[in-house]
Structure 1
Amino acid sequence: MTDTGRRNSRTLSGLSHQGGPALWLAIGAPLLGGALLVWQAWTLADILGRSIEGGVPLATLAPGILLILALLLARAALGAIGERAGTAAAEAIKLHVRATLFSHLLARSPRAAEQPQAGAASAAIIDQVEALDGFFARYLPAMVQATILPLAFGAIILPLDWLAGLLFLVTAPLIPVFMALAGWGAQIATDRQARALSLLSGRFADRLRGLLTLKLFGRADDETAGIVAASDELRRRTLRVLRIAFLSSAVLEFFAALGVAGVALYVGLTFIDYLQLRATPLSLELGLFLLLMAPEVYSPLRLLAAHYHDRAAAKAAIAEIEAQLGVLPSSPLPLGERSTLLGRVRGPFLDAAGEEGPLTRPSADLSPRGRGEERGPLAVTVAGLTLRTPDSARIILADTDLHIPRGEHVAILGPSGIGKSTLLEAIARLRAHEGGIALDQRPLVEWPETELRARVTMLGQRPRIFAGSLADNIALARPGASRAEISRAAELAQVSPFADALPEGLDTLLGEGGLGLSGGQAQRIALARIYLRDAGLILLDEPTAHLDAELELAMLDDLKRYARGRTLIIATHSLAVASRMDKAWRIAGERLLPMPLPKREGRSVA
């Protein structure tokens, strides 16, 4: 086994602890059923022997017959309990793995270089994690049964008949040997199939996102043909896996049938006195017991062979998850941080603790004081900051210093592509940088993720609009916001004028990506989210780029009033926007330079 295979096996072994008592019950129930099987086989052999050889009347045998029926029912109940417990354990483990992967994926910076493709990440969290089901629900209990029960059955039979016991103990281990040989080929085929599934999922998601661009450039038919080819490749790889699984099962069934036939031949030849290898005659009860137990000795091994491909699928799934998302973390993020992250993406149907149900508040006052939260503004200090493009080919800012006191409103000016967005992302800890950035004299790297996201909010140039109502999209910023708060945020962001013209107002459903909205309308919906946050630092990137002059002034007035008592940084190319701020800087020649603004009452000039 390779180092990767050993690591994947250790990962699966570590995940088994998440199954809890249900997994132990799934393993223990079949073992207890195996003990009852020996009792049942011996009782049945005894009843038949006494009835055939001794001519014992049926009434005398009735208690034994009732015992057999009771044992059958008990074994059936244990089988159902074990299967149900295995399913429950597998579901618990899959839930743990998905929560772990999802929480750590959300904790990454969206600008991180190692961020996986959306389609590949979705395939890993949904499809690959689902492939773990068979391993914990079926393979793991079957492996324990195959390890213990054949040896236990052989140990019980060996004192009763040394030749039959020896035959069981010699032939039974041959099945795992051939199973391992077949498993090597199955593992390679399964790894390739899992990789093909991830590639197809990632390709399909990316092409679906860029469908409009493909249509505009006449590439839709070519990409459709590519997806069909990838789908066909996945089909061929899946059939290869199934072919190996069926072939290995047929081989193992062959060896199991040989073992059962050997015991039957030995018992038959002994009864007709053609073969005498025993010191004492073989009784009918013992002969029947051996015949009844012969298939049961191999049954756990055959069951393991049937589910052996689940092991290969699980190991391939772990390898693909690690390839797409990195090494599988041992545990999810802490509950508080996980709830905050889940709340950011699951919308207004989760309260602050992550539980379902709206968290209503009677007040529509959006100020910190009105919500009973007085956190205050944040000061921003930048020292020796150097920013580069993601490929490190060009320096955007070099050795830059900047200090923004608490509660000050400033503008960062410059043409498109100069680096304004990159600077805001660096302050929000969404972009790698060199040098120091501190918020309230506290280094940015020392801020816990949950606290940082609660105190800093940012609106980019291309906000994400999800499929849902206008109200749902606004409430994404604060799960559980009351309807009054959502309506007030919509008014401040100038969403109400166009929402009121829609048939269902704020309850009007939007398409994925804001289909049907203009750029300015989508920007205003995203700006409304800002008004639901209690952030001490607000970072806005071209918030009024798609608006006319009159609407721009109205939005800036509302924004300035809301941001009173908060630190506000706006990246813009508009002098009209910058003139309404307290101070302004412009980016020029890899430097951040102060920019004089016309004097206005209540505003200092940089």
Structure 2
Amino acid sequence: MRGAASALEHDPSAALEKPPREQSRWLMALARAARLPLLLAGAAPLVSGVLLVVQAWLLASVLDAAIVGRAPRQELIGGILGIAALMLLRACIGWAGERAGASAAERIKRHVRQSLFRRLVRKGPHWSRSRAAGELASAVVDQVEALDGFFAKYLPAMAAAALLPVAFSVVLLPVDVIAGLVLLITAPLIPLFMALVGWGAQGASRRHLRAFARLSGFFADRLRGLSTLKLHGRAEAEAESVVAASDALRLRTMSVLRIAFLSSAVLEFFAALGVAGVAVYIGLTYLGFLDLRWTPLTLQAGLFCLLMAPEIYAPLRQFAAHYHDRAAALAAVTQIAALFDGLPQDEDMRGEAGGEPVRTTSADRGKGAALMAGALSVQAPGRGLPVLSDASLALAPGEHAALMGPSGIGKSTLIEAIARLRPCQGDIRLDGRLLADWSEPALRGRVALIGQKPQLLAGSIADNIRLGCPGASDAAVQDAARRACVLEFAAALPQGLDTPLGGRGHGLSGGQAQRVALARLFLRDPGLILLDEPTAHLDEATQERVLDEILEFAAGRTLLLATHAPAVAARLGRILRVAGGKVEDA
């Protein structure tokens, strides 16, 4: 870990890498998801800028009338109230603009997270198993969160910085040409030098986010294997590794902050130079040391120039404050693209694979599904030969079949391929339609899969059973638990089905967890049931009862059950055997 952290820290080429143009375009295209609030957020500083000009001119007029014209206070009340009203109105516009920007950012982040989640679902568990879970979680949560400042702050500030300084300088030209030209010349220098600093900020942000994602994955993996590490006496050594990784991340964070402070220093230097130049020019003109005007410089004109001079740099100062948000967003997009094998495209945004996806109808419910697979080949990582090669399988609607063969021969692989959870080559058809043509919700409604390693979440036993049908009533959950023989052990627990479980079903044995997962099946109405060793961890008596309930529930439905037990296979109408990459009738 130390070596990897060092390599990342001292990789100068990484700082000079620019994200592909497609990533920048993709980031800007996300604005379509929140077009109206972004327009409001961008328009708010522009409207506020117009009101600022009126406010500055009105304030200069009031001061000129009070000092030069010696106007009584009563005559100044109207102008003072106007200034107060403009300040209040500008504050309200600024608040509305910030709310609109925050709303746009939240809408876009939700849109991106849903797209990434759809891509995760579409790629399936076979793809996600090859990635570090902590890095994927960090991408969906932390990397997407890095987009917040780009849309909420950077884009509105960029619109204001691009228009307001030039507009303010042009407004000053009729009042005083010299002051307007000084500000018009010095203002564009700030974005130029900020861009030079920004290249380094973008590289530093990219390295920082990459290290943060790796630290998230590193910490999640160590936390998951904490009991194993303690058993092997590696807890203290891994704790030191976590400390070292955290220190490396702290150093990267400080490098990003140093560049951010440098960017602010560049802006403040040029802003102070421009404001000081205007102030010196106006002061020397009033003292009579400079005479570059055709007409005398009035107090109102001089005050107006002095009031507007710092405001010309205010949008640029705001832009500089949020310039690192752009670098952080681009770095986050680069990290997301690397982790997800590219950025979410239109099909991920829409949630469908394109075309006309097959959907289930009420006529399909309760009916067995027809399954046909031909020329099926599946390659497993780390194995030279394919697990399945030119295999074929056909199940008629309502047919029950047992799938047998030694461990590692490909039974689970075949079941996962049929459920579209593992990439494969060949032709798989469900109800006569290609498996790839089915939409994800329709396929999951038509096919039910209970694997060897059930996924249980932190929550009660009832909550885990209800994953099969989130809207199931308590009575339905109770009946499903009875049919899966869950009540036999849940009755002995203090809270019964409401007993809370830890992550991954911590607190239950392997057989108990298998029965909880199996109970979900009885809450569903699939046409094809795929079971992988559903009775492997059960004693003989419980196995018989569970199998009775499975066969009763599967009546009229198509069932494919992988098992090693001849007694279980004998109760199904057909036995298939996997051998030599083929599937044949026994």
Amino acid at match of 2:30: L
Match of 2:335 in 1: 320
Whether 1:427 aligns to 2:418 is yes
CA distance in structure 1 between the aligned counterparts of 2:179 and 2:321, rounded to whole angstroms: 25
- Identify if the C-alpha distance between structure 1 residues 67 and 330 changes in structure 2 by more than 3 Å, giving closer, same or farther: farther
3-state SS of paired residue (2:403) = strand
Equivalent residue number for residue 535 of structure 1: 526
Identical columns (%): 55
Q: How far did residue 212 of structure 1 move?
A: 2.4
Cα distance in structure 1, aligned partners of 2:389 and 2:199: 55
Could you say what secondary structure the match of 2:492 adopts? coil
Aligned residue among 566, 569, 572 for 2:563: 572
Q: Decide which of 244, 247, 262 is 1:247's aligned counterpart.
A: 262
Q: What is the identity, as a one-letter code, of the residue corresponding to 1:429?
A: R
Distance 1:193 1:560 in 2: 55
CA deviations 1:487-529 (Å, max 9, x no partner) are: 1111111111111111111111111111111110000001111
Pairing of 1:27-176 with structure 2 (within 5 A): 27-112=42-127, 116-176=131-191
The answer for unaligned runs of 5 or more in structure 1 is 339-367, 596-606
Q: Deviations over 1:574-598 (max 9, x none)?
A: 1111111111122233333322xxx
Aligned to 1:502: 493
Tell whether 2:27 aligns with 1:12.
Answer: yes
- Return closer, same or farther for 1:52/1:150 CA change in 2, 3 Å cut-off: same
Range that drifts further, 285-294 or 74-83: 74-83
The CA deviation string for residues 372-402 of structure 1, in whole angstroms up to 9 with x for no partner, is 9734101222223233323351233333233
Cα distance per residue 1:243-262 (max 9 Å; x no partner): 11112201210110111010
Matched residues in 2 for 1:482 and 1:219: separation?
46
Q: Structure 2 CA distance, aligned partners of 1:125 and 1:430? A: 21
Q: Aligned with 2:98: secondary structure?
A: helix
User: How many residue pairs align between the two structures?
Assistant: 565
1:219 to 234, 245, 261: 234
Q: State the secondary structure of the residue aligned to 1:243.
A: helix
User: 1 CA distance for matches of 2:179 and 2:389?
Assistant: 83
**Shift of the alpha carbon at 1:216?**
2.7
Distance 1:590 1:56, change over 3 A: closer
For the pair 1:444 / 2:459, whether they are aligned, the reply is: no
Cα RMSD (Å): 2.1
Q: Show CA shifts across 1:263-317 (max 9, x none).
A: 0000010011101111111111111111111111111111111111111111111
Q: Which amino acid aligns with 2:221?
A: D
SS at match of 2:64: helix
Q: TM-score, normalised by structure 1?
A: 0.89
In 2, Cα distance between the equivalents of 1:587 and 1:18? Answer: 49
Q: Is the 8 A contact 1:99 1:332 kept in 2?
A: no
Q: Secondary structure at the match of 1:473?
A: helix
Is residue 5–residue 315 contact of structure 1 (8 Å, CA) maintained in 2? no
Per-residue displacement from partner, 1:63-110 (whole Å, max 9, x unpaired)?
A: 111111111111111111112221122111111111221222223211
Gap runs ≥5 in structure 2: 1-15, 354-359
Which residues of 2 match residues 181-330 of structure 1 at below 5 A?
181-330=196-345
SS at match of 2:397: coil
Secondary structure at the aligned position of 1:110 is classed as helix
Residue 38 of structure 2 corresponds to residue 23 of structure 1: yes
Please say if residues 116 and 325 of structure 1, whose CA atoms lie closer than 8 Å, have aligned partners that are also in contact: no
Aligned pairs for 1:361-400 (under 5 A) are: 374-400=365-391
Of 54-63 and 194-203, deviating more is 54-63
* Worse-superposed segment, 143-152 or 14-23: 14-23
Q: Which has the higher helix share?
A: 2
- Which residue of 431, 442, 453 corresponds with 2:444? 453
C-alpha spacing 1:331/1:508, structure 2 compared with 1 (3 Å): farther
Corresponding position: 1:593 with 2:584: yes
Question: 1:105, 1:435 → 2: CA distance?
Answer: 23
Match of residue 493 from structure 1: 484
Per-residue deviation, 1:334:
7.8
State how far apart, in whole Å, the 2-side matches of 1:565 and 1:249 are. 72
Change (3 A) 1:312 1:111: same
Give the AA of the match of 1:318: V
One-letter amino acid of the structure 2 residue matched with residue 279 of structure 1: W
Structure-1 separation of matches of 2:492 and 2:347: 44
Contact map agreement 1:465 1:473 (CA 8 A) in 2: yes
Once residues 69 and 377 of structure 2 are traced to their aligned partners in structure 1, the CA distance between those partners, rounded to angstroms, is: 98
Which region of structure 1 is more displaced relative to structure 2, 203-212 or 490-499? 203-212
- Deviation, 1:13, is 1.4
Q: Is the 8 A contact 1:377 1:537 kept in 2?
A: yes
The one-letter code of the counterpart of 2:525 is D
Tell me the alpha carbon deviations over residues 427-455 of structure 1, each in whole angstroms, 9 at most, x when there is no partner: 21222223322223323233222222111
Preserved CA contact (<8 Å) 2:105 2:152 = yes
